[in-house]
Structures are given as C-alpha cells and as structure tokens.
Amino acid sequence: MAFKPQSEDDGAMADINVTPLVDVMLVLVIILLVTAPLLTQSVHVTLPKTAETTADIKEQPLQLGIDAQGVITLNKLPIASLEALETALKGELQRKPEIGLHLYADQDVVYSKVAEVMASVQHAGIAKIAFVTIKQ
C-alpha cells in the first residue's frame, strides 16, 4: 500500500463513514422483526354466563323486511315500491319522531336491493337502523 506523505495542510477527514450506521440499523430492524410477534400476549379468561336480557325499549321499532325475491314488507305488510316505502316511513316518523327500524334481509337478496332500501330509509329521515341477524 502506498501512503501519501502527510503535509501540513492535510486536515481532518470530513466524510462520515455510514457503513457502521447501516449495519447497526439493520441489526435493530432484524431484532424488531423477531421480537414484535412475541410482544402480543393473550390472557385466557373464562367469562361468567348470565341470562339473556332484552333492551329497555319504550316503543317497538319498525320491522322492515326484504325476502329472497326482493319483496319489501313494513311491519309484515307488503310495500309496492320504494316511493311507497318512503312515504310510509315519513308517516311513521311524523307519529313517532324517535322511531327506530330493524332491517331483516334474506341472505340471498342482492346487495343493491338492500342498498336501495337503506337509501329510502335515509331519505325518509330515519336515523336509527339496526340490522337483524340470526345467532348460530
């Protein structure tokens, strides 16, 4: 190896050697990736069992159903169109301003039909909508 002879005007080297910095950062990333899955801990708890309770509802919510063929029913009465549904819902909302709505939709109903019905409910002004499912 050839060395330069030192002269009086040679100063300190101003370049930073980043190789050790990159090595340390890679080691820290690897440690983080290895230890992160170990930090999630789960605690197994046996929860107490209680009897089923019903919600304290002063007024029964409206029952809005959509069967597999797309027929809409409001409180078990068939509704001819979405406009008729919206009119009926506005009438119910006039009688009971805080009325809620339970939506029963068959699992075979096309999603677009459910979306159209939900839009009609929203246009009627009903804000409390609950989706009813069956517990398995």
Cβ atoms 129, 118 nearer than 8 A: yes
pLDDT digits (tens, 9 = 90+) for 99-118: 889 998 888 888 899 899 99
Instruction: State residue 5's pLDDT score.
Output: 60
Cα–Cα distance between 68 and 108 in angstroms, integer? 5
The pTM of this model reads 0.55
Domain boundaries, the chain: 62-131
Taking residues 107-135, what's their average pLDDT?
88
C-alpha distances in Å from residue 70, one per residue of 67, 77, 84, 116, 119: 5, 14, 15, 11, 15
Q: Looking at the domain 62-131, which fold is it?
A: Nucleotidyltransferase; domain 5 (3.30.420)
Instruction: State residue 134's pLDDT score.
Output: 76
pLDDT digits (tens, 9 = 90+) for 26-80: 999 999 998 888 777 666 777 778 787 776 656 788 899 998 888 899 888 898 8
